[in-house]
Amino acid sequence: MSYDFLGAESQAIKLCERRALHIAKNLANVSTPNYQAKDIDFHNSFAAALSRVSDPVHTTNPRHIPISGNGAENPKEYYRVPILESLDGNTVEEETERKNFTENGMYYTASLNFAQNKVKLILDALKGGG
Amino acid sequence: MTSLMDLGLEQGLNIATSAMRAQSVRMNTIASNMANTGSVGSTEASTYRAQYVTFQEVLDNKENLGGVAVTNLTNSKTPLQKLYDPNNPLAGEDGYVFATDVDHVTSMTDMLDSSNAYKTNIEVMKTIKHMIHQALDAMKI
């Protein structure tokens, strides 16, 4: 496994992209009867992904079972519990989803900036600070 | 395991578009209902009935993109009200016409809800577009 110098940032970016799709789908189904809003737990998935970046588990034998789930490749999904039940069984709360979508966009911008700065730093080092 | 995870961010644009398409179908039926408020007919069968659309979630997998779709267009089944209006050219022998069951208030609230959902999805689209642009810009060092 090659050394992934953008470990944390790339995991965060991946997670943000997945989460954006989940929330986009929730907002698309805002008037679908019986639709159950789904989301991923960013903080737990990110922590799990990070622990795998810093201490990756390798399979050294073809009979080993690879670890799946909870990383950025396969974050755990959960159903959102609505504050108020709606009559048609839809659990999308527009305000919550909008807030999450904005928040997710901010995390995405931040992660991209961190990644970009890291690359700049490495380029600077390669050029000898010149 | 099939999920949203095999897809890129641009998939979000398709999800938002599917919702906008579904909401515009809904808006069309609402417009049709509103245009027919107060219309009458000579028989129960020939009188305009309020129409409703049904939405259903589209599950995401490798073939399908996910989002929302209109699955059904149903006519309302409530019995129509009979009105005594012998001067109406549509009135039968007994002087009665059938009034449509379009409800003003339901149509108005439906319209507001639909337009609100449409706006939300436009914003989703804008945000996702912005995110993609950011990712593209980050590649410029």
- Of all helices (H) and strands (E), which one includes residue B57? strand B51-58
B73 phi and psi angles, rounded to 5 deg: -125, 110
The confidence score (pLDDT) of residue B124 equals 94
Please write the tens of the pLDDT for every residue from A8-50: 888 899 899 989 999 999 999 999 999 999 999 888 888 888 7
HSE-CB at A84 with a 13 A cutoff on CA atoms is: 6
Contact status, residue B88 vs residue B40, Cβ threshold 8 Å? yes
- Are A109 and B134 inside 8 Å of each other by CB? yes
A36 phi and psi angles, rounded to 5 deg: -105, 115
Give the nearest chain A residue to B127 (CA atoms). Answer: A105
The confidence score (pLDDT) of residue A42 equals 87
What is the nearest CA distance from B95 to chain A, expressed in angstroms? Answer: 41
Q: Which of B68, B37, B38 is nearest to B53 (CA)?
A: B68
Please write the tens of the pLDDT for every residue from B30-45: 999 999 988 888 888 8
Q: Which two tokens stand for residue B53?
A: 């659309």
**Alpha-carbon distance values, B1 to A23, A73, A97, A117, B107 (Å):** 20, 12, 25, 35, 41
Spatial neighbors of B52 by CB under 8 A, at least 6 apart, are B29, B73, B74, B75, B76
Q: Which residue has the tokens 């050219």?
A: B89
Nearest to A30 among B12, B18, B120 (CB): B120
- Residue B135: CB atoms within 10 A of its CB come to 17
Ramachandran bin of A128, using left for φ above 0, alpha for ψ from -120 to 50, beta for the remaining angles:
left
Q: Which residue has the tokens 């995110």?
A: B131
- Residue B104: CB atoms within 10 A of its CB come to 11
- Say which amino acid occupies A100: N
Per the DSSP assignment, residues forming a β-bridge with B31 are none
Spatial neighbors of A124 by CB under 8 A, at least 6 apart, are none
Give the nearest chain B residue to A92 (CA atoms). Answer: B117
Nearest to B66 among A25, A94, A113 (CB): A25
**Alpha-carbon distance values, B79 to A63, B31, B36, B54, B83 (Å):** 67, 22, 17, 21, 13
Please write the tens of the pLDDT for every residue from A69-83: 556 667 888 899 988
Q: Is the pLDDT of residue B22 over 70?
A: yes
- Are B57 and A29 inside 8 Å of each other by CB? yes
Percent with pLDDT over 70 in chain A: 85
Please write the tens of the pLDDT for every residue from B78-130: 888 888 988 888 888 888 999 998 988 999 999 999 999 999 999 999 999 99
Mean pLDDT confidence for B58-64: 68
The confidence score (pLDDT) of residue B6 equals 57
Q: Which of the two residues, B65 and A28, has the higher pLDDT score? A: A28
